[in-house]
Amino acid sequence: MKYIITILIFFSFQAIGRESGQTEITTDDGIEVFNQEKYYLLKTNVIIISDEYELSADLVKAYFNKDLYDITRIFSDGNVTLISSKGIKASGEKIDFDIINEGLQIFGKNSLFTNKEIIMTSDEEIKINNITGNFLINGPDSRLKSDTIDITGYLIKGKFSQIKNINEVELLYVEDEKQINIKTETLDMYALRADYDKKINIIELFDNVKIFRDNESILGDYAKINTLTESYKVTSKESGKVKALLDKTDE
Amino acid sequence: MCMTCCDLVVKLNNFLNINKNTLFILSIFLIAIFFATIFYKRGSINVTEESFFSIDPKFDIVNPSFTINNPKEKIFVTAEKGNFLNNNQIFLKNNVFFKSDNFTLLSDEVTYDKKKQTAVSKSTSKFESEGTEIISEGFSIAERGDIILFNGKTLLILKQ
């Protein structure tokens, strides 16, 4: 009888394959289910495959609402990689995935988040909310890069909006006690802080401002740049003087 | 002496006077009784042997059943056979089921602790609840069923 049951269970192990709408989870070192606390721990070499996403990690803590299938939040630890069917890719030391609120937090060195043309990297934290569009990149080597803009700084936060299936930065705040950098197709800007609002098409730069465009460079303490006309105004607090360098060209 | 010999001769003569047919039928009747007795005895031995094996002296209890009293739900434990390991621990074997309103857990060999209301299995196990199926290389139940640990390589299928 023992062998019959073992064989039956073994074959059902083999026969069970993920069907559409199902989530398949495999682990090398078992599952601990905590009914009272409403979560389960998936241990060692965890792989989760569903219609919406694929996740792999060393350890996963999955919170559920009513039943085990009713997952509300997945906290993954160790070599985490998340790939969504919508083109999102995330990796890091830890990932906190809030399924209900569509929030994603990536922690640790070499944290990475990509969504189509947008790439976010940091050595500390990346936080994105798919519903609100809010994002935060915090820590050393934080960077936000897209086809049209490249931003570096210790803290980068803002908001995305999706226009015609393309993600665009709607609001942006960047700061770094050493230096931030914002590069567009035509401008290369440096400062300690920056603010951008797409509604008014204005980038404001604060402290140790440097702007490079073609062969000209302008230095000051504050700059206001119109992203539509690409015109800018630079001021300096102490001397009231702004330094502008215009290189000669062959022409 | 002469009289005694005469009596004996008379008795032998009477015996030789018995009808041969009667003697033949009598013999067949006796043989039939003999074989019937043998077959009956053999039949009795078989019956005894069969019941002896069905009881199986290797197991202390047949069809044991217990209940884990969780404040939220009762978990019924059943099996085909069981052996007492000590006063509290019972080794359950063959079709060991843990059933509650919310889930069913099947395994083949489970050590159940009556006092602590815990269970441990190192055999392949299958857990089923609404929308959930877990197959593992073993399990343990602690905290009166509040905590279930699935051990070894584990497959979890969630159906929405």
pLDDT in tens, A172-212: 999 999 999 999 988 999 999 999 999 999 999 999 999 99
pLDDT per residue of chain B (160 residues) written in tens, 0 to 9 = 455 555 655 565 666 666 778 878 888 888 888 888 776 655 444 433 333 344 456 788 899 998 888 887 889 999 999 999 998 999 999 999 999 988 999 999 999 998 888 999 999 999 998 889 999 999 999 888 888 999 999 999 998 7
Distance from CA of B115 to the nearest CA of A (A): 21
Residues 6+ apart with CB under 8 A from B158: A22, A23, A24, A25, A50, A68, A69, A71, B131, B132
With vertex at residue B21, the alpha carbon angle to CA B17 and CA B25, rounded to the nearest 5 degrees, is 120
Q: Containing domain of residue B43, as a range?
A: 2-55
Are residues B152 and A30, on separate chains, in Cβ contact within 8 Å?
Answer: yes
Same-domain status, B19 and B39 = yes
Cβ atoms of A64 and B130 closer than 8 Å: no
Confirm if A25 and A48 have CB atoms less than 8 A apart.
Answer: yes
Report which DSSP code applies to A93: E
CB nearest A68 (choices: B125, B137, B158): B158
In whole angstroms, what is the distance from residue A210 CA to residue A220 CA? 7
Same domain, B38 and B74: no
Chain B residues with CB-CB distance to A under 8 A? 72, 80, 93-95, 102, 106-109, 123-126, 129-137, 143, 145-160
Which sign does the torsion angle of CA A215, A221, A227, A229 carry? negative
* CA–CA dist A186, A170 (Å, integer): 19
CB B39 within 8 A of CB B87: no
CA A200 from chain centre, in angstroms, equals 25
CA of B148: which chain A residue's CA is closest?
A33
Q: What are the domain boundaries of chain A?
A: 21-100, 106-251
Q: Which residue in the set A5, A12, A13 is minimally distant from B95, CB to CB?
A: A5
Q: Is B106–A9 a contact, with Cβ atoms under 8 angstroms apart? A: yes
Q: Are residues B129 and B73 in the same domain?
A: yes
Fold (topology level) of A106-251: lipopolysaccharide transport protein A fold (2.60.450)
Q: How many CB atoms lie within 10 A of CB B31?
A: 10
Judgement on whether residues B51 and B75 belong to the same structural domain of the protein: no
Same domain? B91 vs B141: yes
Q: Do A24 and B155 touch (CB under 8 A)?
A: yes
- Nearest by CB: A30 against B126, B143, B151: B151
Comparing CB atoms, the residue among A1, A5, A69 nearest residue B160 is A69
Q: Who contacts B121 (Cβ-Cβ below 8 Å, separation ≥6)?
A: B96, B107, B108, B109, B110, B111, B138, B139, B140
In this structure, the answer to whether residues B43 and B113 fall within a common structural domain is no
Distance between CA A5 and CA A14 in Å, rounded? 14
pTM metric for this prediction? 0.74
What is the domain count for chain B?
A: 2
Same domain for B68 and B132? yes
Task: Give per-residue pLDDT as tens, A21-61.
Answer: 899 999 999 999 888 889 999 999 999 999 989 999 999 99
* 8 Å CB contact between A220 and A240: no
**B65 shares a domain with B41:** no
Contact A23 B158 (CB under 8 A): yes
Task: Evaluate whether ipTM surpasses 0.85.
Answer: no
Distance CA B63, CA B78 (A): 7
Judged by DSSP in three states, A23 sits in strand
CATH of the domain at B152: 2.60.450.10
Residues B95, B145 share a domain: yes
DSSP E strand stretches across A53-183: 53-64, 71-84, 88-98, 103-107, 111-115, 118-122, 125-129, 134-138, 143-145, 150-152, 155-163, 166-183
CB pairs under 8 A between A and B: 116
Last residue of a domain, one of B10, B32, B55: B55
What residues of chain B lie within 8 A of the CB of A42, using their CB?
Answer: 154, 156
What is the predicted pLDDT for the residue at B16? Answer: 61
Question: Which three-class secondary structure state does DSSP give residue B28?
Answer: helix
Q: Are residues B45 and B69 both part of a single domain? A: no
Q: What is the pLDDT of residue A11?
A: 47
Say yes or no: B51 and B71 in one domain. no
User: CA quadruple A145, A151, A154, A158: dihedral positive or negative?
Assistant: negative
